[in-house]
Amino acid sequence: MAACLYLFGETKPPKKDAIMSPMMGGGTASSSNIDFATILVKAKGTLASSQLDSISNMELQMKKVRGDHEKQLMLQSLAFTWEKTGNVLVAGEYYSQAAAINNDTILLNKAGNLFYSGFPTTTDTLARIFGAQQGVNTYTELAKMDPSNYTYPIREAVCYIDGLGNVMQGVSILKEVESKDPDNEEMNLILGRLAVVSGQYDKAIARLEKLTKQHPKNAEAFYHLAEAYRAVGKNDDAIKALEQCKKLVNDPAFSAQIDNYIQQIKNP
């Protein structure tokens, strides 16, 4: 296994947190109802005094608003202010609350994007689960609004798999997408990665070879394909795939890590 490459990370199973049920159980246990107030208190603890004062003033103004339009505008202001502090999960929640007032798709998309980008990067376990759960809820709603947009169920699946450790539910969603759009790039990439994780290397190779032919600029597909090749002893093919990955990314730091990985393959 390569060192953790900063673009793609290690291909390994999602961590099972102590408060999560086993992956085969199909869900989370005590993490099912994380209170936003708990997340909010923790987030406020990260703020500078000037930021906290600004947000406290906005919260006071929030209590004085009249009508849905004013409430929505104030929630958007709160969301924007929190986003500037780097607390994207809190910002996503406020955008989500603003969107719920009149089923605003643009605001709900904004919320979903923040949950999706935020849960993998937070180091706080509860915040991670909260972000993933809210991502699931948000993308479920967005999929109802636009069933033809497969990005929504794919992102919902990632929230289940990488955020909540519920691989079976996520794979089930991805398989549903596959039945409707078998050549979907992101769906095939995720299922290919999961096949490597679960040791189904032949399936991974078949899926990722097809993907790299259809989408020859997908660097991550070449990286996971290389891992699958290496696992079955096809070292020359693995090196070729890594060289192509390196070429596509074209970043000195990343290239150095890839070169190190190649040396590991050549000199196990």
Q: Are both 150 and 254 inside the same structural domain?
A: no
Contacts of 162 (CB under 8 A, 6+ apart): 14, 119, 120, 132
Q: For the chain, how many helices (H) and strands (E)?
A: 14, 0
- CA 67/CA 31 separation, integer angstroms: 34
Are residues 206 and 161 located together in one domain of the fold? no
CB 16, CB 165: distance < 8 Å:
yes
Q: Which long-range contacts link 191-197 to residues 24+ away (Cβ below 8 Å)?
A: 192/221, 192/224, 192/225, 192/228, 193/11, 193/224, 194/161, 194/167, 195/228, 196/11, 196/224, 196/227, 196/228, 196/231, 197/11, 197/12, 197/13
Pick from 182, 215, 242: which residue ends a domain? 182
Helix (H/G/I), strand (E/B), else coil: 268: coil
The pLDDT-based confidence of 191 (bands split at 50, 70, 90) is very high
92 shares its domain with 155: yes
Assess if residue 217 is contained within a domain. Answer: yes
Asked if the structure places residue 7 within a domain, the reply is no
* Rounded-to-integer distance, Cα 176 and Cα 125, Å: 29
- Give the residue carrying structure tokens 């093919």: 237
Q: Are residues 154 and 64 in the same domain?
A: yes
Same domain, 126 and 242: no
Please work out, in degrees rounded to the nearest 5, the angle formed at the alpha carbon of residue 3 by the alpha carbons of 13 and 205. Answer: 55
Residue 146 shares a structural domain with residue 225: no
Q: Which amino acid is at 119?
A: F
Residues 176, 98 share a domain: yes
Residues 40 and 158 in one domain: yes
Between CA 83 and CA 222 the distance in angstroms is 34
pLDDT the model gives residue 37: 95
176 with 113, same domain: the answer is yes
Residue 27 lies inside a defined structural domain of this protein: no
Reported confidence tier of residue 58, pLDDT bands at 50, 70, 90: very high
* Residue range 115-131, pLDDT digits in tens: 999 999 999 999 999 99
| CA-to-CA separations, 79 to 55, 91, 135, in angstroms, rounded | 10, 4, 16
Q: Please give the residue range of the domain that contains residue 62.
A: 35-182
Structure tokens at 82: 């929190």
| 19 has a pLDDT exceeding 60 | no
User: Does 148 lie in the same domain as 62?
Assistant: yes
Residue 169 backbone dihedrals phi, psi, to 5 degrees: -65, -45
Residue 83 maps to a domain: yes
**Can you give the pTM of this predicted structure?**
0.85
pLDDT value of position 126? 94
Rounded Cα distance, 51 and 80, in Å? 12
Question: How much is the pLDDT for 268?
Answer: 81
**Residue 138 domain flag:** yes
Amino acid letter, 21: S
CATH of the domain at 174: 1.25.40.10
Residues 210 and 114 in one domain: no
> How would residue 244 be classed by pLDDT, with cut points 50, 70 and 90?
very high
According to the model, what pLDDT value does residue 29 have?
34
Tell me if 252 is assigned to some domain. Answer: yes
Q: How many domains does the chain have?
A: 2
